[in-house]
Structure 1
Amino acid sequence: MITVDENTVRNTILFLLWAEFAWETYLSIRQFNKARTTTEVPAELKSVMDKEEFKKAQNYSLAKLKFGFFKDTHSIILTSAVIYYGILSSAWDYSESINPFKGEVTTSSIWLFIMSLCSSLIELPLTIYYTFVLEEQFGFNKQTAAFFVWDKIKAFFISQIITLMISSVVIVIIKNGGPYFFVWLWAVVCVISMILLTIYPAVIAPLFDKYTPLPEGKLRTEIENLASRLHFPLTQLYVVEGSKRSSHSNAYFYGLFKSKRIVLFDTLLAKDDGSGCKDDEIIAVLSHELGHWSHNHIIKNLIVMQINLFLLFAGFSIMFKYPPLYKALGFYRTQPVLVGLFVVLQYVMMPYNTLLSFLMTCLSRKFEFQADNFAVNLGNADPLERALLQLNKDNLGFPINDDLYSAWHHSHPPLLERIAVLRESTSKLK
């Protein structure tokens, strides 16, 4: 490995951070200008969106972009200060001084808790503004202050319990796994991730939202018939009370192997005010979701995720004992493996992570088109198009996007592109 001093390492990390910030800012400026200068409602949306609704969606998009500018600027300045002034090492020294057990595992747990707590408190004003000012202004926020506070407390402590347990196991494996510890680390993390994927929807998610079985009726019967026709192993069908947090809507399925559960947000169901989707539109949305299942998209994403983890851990095994990496952040006396893991995965591997994120966005778009085509082949093209238009209207989605911004950020194809492909696929079936 080429030898460089800690100043070079620190400056390289800061350069990578600011380069990514500059790129993201450039893309956001392009999108901001695109949204600001677009005034006409696209022809495809005129049946569901009038001038006033289009203007509201435009203002919502601009407000989120402005908030994003401020949040990203706040984040890069804060992160740069943490790196430059050695705040991570100062927090480690404090954690070590109050640790009654004097072991690296317990010191790491205290350090991680302190850093997470500080990060949450620093980000809290931004979260409050986004929820109670920006989302409130456009009619999406449904949370009370008490609900918000209790929700954040629960989320913080549950995440801490899970994170501290996993990080303790990770430290033990790294320190005792020998030269090929990264193989054992990868295997254990694979198992843990599969366990979390299994228990999160059934055990952890209900701690935050109320899940109730979808009542008997036409919609439930049609969903069950669809699942039966496709041999989808549906075991439960739930409605989640998402309206207590937000009026945004969604639907998804979860579960491994032969036990699948479908969840509908209550905001997805048709309302008297004209929001939400009709029964045939919900069936079309679920046809799309089941398209992901039919094409094994979940399994493919899991495989990519596990390969990525292996490569990240292998890269970490090469670099984590490099002293300048720790000295760059103020660690002159010790080289905590958890800090090394954080620095390597978060900063050193940043170019790789950025490239992978873009490639995953491209893959996700391909999967979305495949799922749409699956719904088309089931004869649900028209209700799926109506559902997409209705959901875009309900969520104040701004339908005009800068091509470069969209290609980099949108894991789902833009609305107008999806509609165009839907219509083209439909015409081929005729």
Structure 2
Amino acid sequence: MALIDAEKVQYAALAFLWIEYLWELYLDIRQYHLCKKTENVPPELKQVMSKETFDKARLYTLDKDKYGFIKSAFSIVLSTFVIWSGLLATVWMYAESISPWKGEVATSCIWLFLLIAMSTLIDLPFSVYYTFVLEEKYGFNKQTAKFYLWDKIKSFILSQALSLPIASIIIVIVKYGGDLFFVWLWITVGIIVLLLLTIYPSYIAPLFDKYTPLPEGELRTDIEKLASELKFPLGQLYVVEGSKRSAHSNAYFYGLFGAKRIVLFDTLLANPESGGCQNDEVLAVLSHELGHWKHGHIVKNIIIMQTNLFLMFLVFGFMFGFPPIYQAVGFPPNLQPVLVGLLVVMQYIMMPYNALLSFLLTCLSRYFEFQADAFALKLGKADPLQRALVQLNKDNLGFPIYDSLFSAWHHSHPPLLQRLVALQTNSHSKED
């Protein structure tokens, strides 16, 4: 009976994987065909986007779609192989055989180290192609091979340095936390997440990119004045040297408690060679970001994240002792490692829930984005924000036409045309 149950779990996991893959493939094909047949600049953008830029964005999107088709197909085949072959159990047995220490914590750390290393190596050819072929082709890649390699090494070391101690803590809590271990697990992981959110921008992000204070001048004065008017607790203003990595641009603020920091990508600032935004457009973009702060979007997202964590750990608490979930990925009946159970429950058993939650959060994120745009409009930034959105879209070669179903499922930010229409409509309403 246990064997039958294990087979059912295995088939269910594979079914969930393939249903999600086929659904995503269907959406991607819809978007690909729409992009392929749309050869003219939309009437709403003819005054601000040249045919040359539009065509380049279209070809960039088509190339990314083709890359995505290949990578997704490889990913589903690999995932199927991992479940069907019992690879997780094979790696576990190997980790156990080479572990110099006895016990589940030591074996789990070696097992996790090997899986992260394997995943990094498998993904490396795709990452190299995307960076040095696809992004290079359209002028976005700014990395040298040496910079890229060192970046990957730092990322690998950091991922291991964070994941192994956290995994060890999780195992100890599950094994010794009693019947309510999932509550202690939720509290502990929640604290760790908040701690990482706090220290990452100040101590981890600078390991990968150079941050320098925004120089004195008109832009800095205007930003400080805007923050003062909104009573935004601005601590520091930074420019991050993103141009060493990519030509894509962005801006954000961070800080959960007390003074907050605003970070501008150097590619966002006006540059005769690479585009970028004028000062009033940068201010409009920041007004949008400050709208997220004013409406409490970050706090709301953290609350949602913590609630979701609790629900996931609650389900894991009910299922982690169920032998078939381990047997489904190749483990013998008497072996039930905590990390394996957590992986199977979170990644496979809860896949339908995760897909639904992701869609709902995408819808919520779009609502938050419209709210932030409306906040910028109230500050009188509608016109420069529209110009900034168009400029950023051109700089990033964003294709402005999307299939409605594809967009509804994938876009956490509303597409360009939807944002422009909303800003124009609300601007006219405000004037009336």
Q: Scaled by the length of structure 1, what TM-score is found?
A: 0.99
Q: Displacement, 1:47? A: 2.4
- Tell me if 1:238 matches 2:247: no
The CA distance in 2 between the partners of 1:123 and 1:50, in whole Å, is 36
Q: Displacement, 1:36? A: 0.4
Q: Secondary structure at the match of 1:370?
A: helix
Greater shift, 373-382 or 3-12, is seen at 3-12
- In structure 2, the partner of 1:285 is 285
1:168-217 Cα shifts (integer Å, max 9, x gaps): 10000000000110000000011101100000000000000000000000
- In structure 2, the partner of 1:324 is 324
- In structure 2, the partner of 1:49 is 49
- Tell me if 1:74 matches 2:74: yes
Q: 8 Å contact 1:237–1:262 — kept in the other structure?
A: yes
The CA distance in 1 between the partners of 2:99 and 2:201, in whole Å, is 35
- In structure 2, the partner of 1:404 is 405
- In structure 1, the partner of 2:387 is 386
Within 5 A, what are the aligned runs for 1:116-135? Answer: 116-135=116-135
| Structure 1 gap segments, 5+ residues each | none
The CA distance in 2 between the partners of 1:66 and 1:216, in whole Å, is 45
The CA distance in 2 between the partners of 1:24 and 1:139, in whole Å, is 28
The CA distance in 2 between the partners of 1:359 and 1:3, in whole Å, is 36
Greater shift, 195-204 or 42-51, is seen at 42-51
Q: 8 Å contact 1:48–1:393 — kept in the other structure?
A: no
1:114-156 Cα shifts (integer Å, max 9, x gaps): 0000010001000000000000000000000000000000001
Aligned AA (2:343): F
Q: Displacement, 1:159? A: 1.1
- In structure 2, the partner of 1:275 is 275
Q: Scaled by the length of structure 2, what TM-score is found?
A: 0.98
Q: Displacement, 1:341? A: 0.3
- In structure 2, the partner of 1:258 is 258
The CA distance in 1 between the partners of 2:4 and 2:356, in whole Å, is 25
Aligned AA (2:71): K
Q: Secondary structure at the match of 1:346?
A: helix
1:64-116 Cα shifts (integer Å, max 9, x gaps): 11111000000000111011010000000000001111110010000000000
- In structure 2, the partner of 1:146 is 146
The CA distance in 2 between the partners of 1:281 and 1:199, in whole Å, is 30
- In structure 2, the partner of 1:182 is 182
Q: Displacement, 1:240? A: 0.1
Q: 8 Å contact 1:183–1:310 — kept in the other structure?
A: yes
Q: Displacement, 1:220? A: 0.2
Q: Secondary structure at the match of 2:267?
A: helix
Q: Secondary structure at the match of 2:264?
A: strand
Q: 1:77 to 1:89 in 2, by over 3 A?
A: same
- In structure 2, the partner of 1:340 is 341
Q: 8 Å contact 1:241–1:266 — kept in the other structure?
A: yes
Task: Count residues with an aligned counterpart.
Answer: 430
Identity level (%): 63
The CA distance in 1 between the partners of 2:151 and 2:257, in whole Å, is 31
The CA distance in 2 between the partners of 1:99 and 1:39, in whole Å, is 59
Q: RMSD value over aligned CA atoms? A: 1.2
- In structure 2, the partner of 1:208 is 208
Q: 8 Å contact 1:326–1:340 — kept in the other structure?
A: yes
| Structure 2 gap segments, 5+ residues each | none
Q: Displacement, 1:234? A: 0.3
The CA distance in 1 between the partners of 2:238 and 2:48, in whole Å, is 29
Q: 8 Å contact 2:63–2:134 — kept in the other structure?
A: yes
- In structure 2, the partner of 1:226 is 226
Q: 8 Å contact 1:6–1:324 — kept in the other structure?
A: yes
The CA distance in 2 between the partners of 1:346 and 1:36, in whole Å, is 34
